Amino acid sequence: MALCLLWGLTKHAGCFPGTKQYRAKESGDVSVQCPYSAPDYRAVSKAWCKEGAGKACTVLVTTNLEPSEYHSTPQQDRVRIQDDTEQGIVTVTMERLQVEDSGVYWCALYEHAHLFRMLEVTLNVSEGDSCPSLPCSDPSGPLPAARMCPGDTGYSRGSFPVLGVAVGMHLYPW
């Protein structure tokens, strides 16, 4: 924090503590929530970027730019960003994850073509069954969460009613 005060950046770069770890399976989704002070930053653009060599961060999406206004990446069509300026929460959703999506990401303020990291996220995407024939369902547990497949929890949200109907039809034939 002393360095932040020295640079006069108490509201910017690296002055937001925090790193979060996320694990997900290939073809799944992950949703990341990045809180910020709404009164201070509601008018500031937000960005989601992936850290590369030399700690440079490649912008994937922002709250103010059209995709054609920054460098095209293979992930762009699979990443969405929403800014709830009343609550002070940026939500980033990455869909159809691939093992290559593993890495370090930032939720960042995006001012004057500079990124000021609010939150660092380490994402680990692993290979595995990714619900080849059954739809995935969101877990009922607390956020943060990656989309879970039926095999992850032992059942899917809709499996018990179907089982109940099948048993009921067997016990009470029409």
**pLDDT the model gives residue 160:** 35
**pLDDT the model gives residue 128:** 74
- Residue 93's nearest CA partner among 147, 140, 142 is 147
CA atoms of 90 and 107, how far apart (whole Å): 8
CB atoms within 10 A of CB 57: 18
| Joined tokens for residue 93 | 């959703």
Instruction: Let me know how long the chain is.
Output: 174
DSSP state of 126: E
CA 86 vs. chain centroid, Å, equals 20
Whether residue 116 contacts residue 108, with contact meaning beta carbons closer than 8 Å, is answered with yes
Domains with residue ranges and CATH for the chain: 17-153 (2.60.40.10)
User: b vs e for 82-97, b when ≥16 Cβ sit within 10 Å of the residue's Cβ?
Assistant: ebeeeebebbbbbeeb
**pLDDT the model gives residue 99:** 96
**pLDDT the model gives residue 149:** 47
**pLDDT the model gives residue 64:** 81
pLDDT tens string for the chain (174 positions)? 333 433 334 444 445 556 899 999 999 999 999 999 999 999 999 999 999 988 889 999 999 855 444 455 556 689 999 999 999 999 999 999 999 999 999 999 999 889 999 999 999 999 976 444 333 444 444 444 444 444 443 333 343 333 333 334 344 444
Q: Which helix (H) or strand (E) holds 108?
A: strand 103-111
- Residue 28's nearest CA partner among 120, 119, 101, 91 is 101
Instruction: Say if residue 144 is preceded by a cis peptide, omega within 30 of 0.
Output: yes
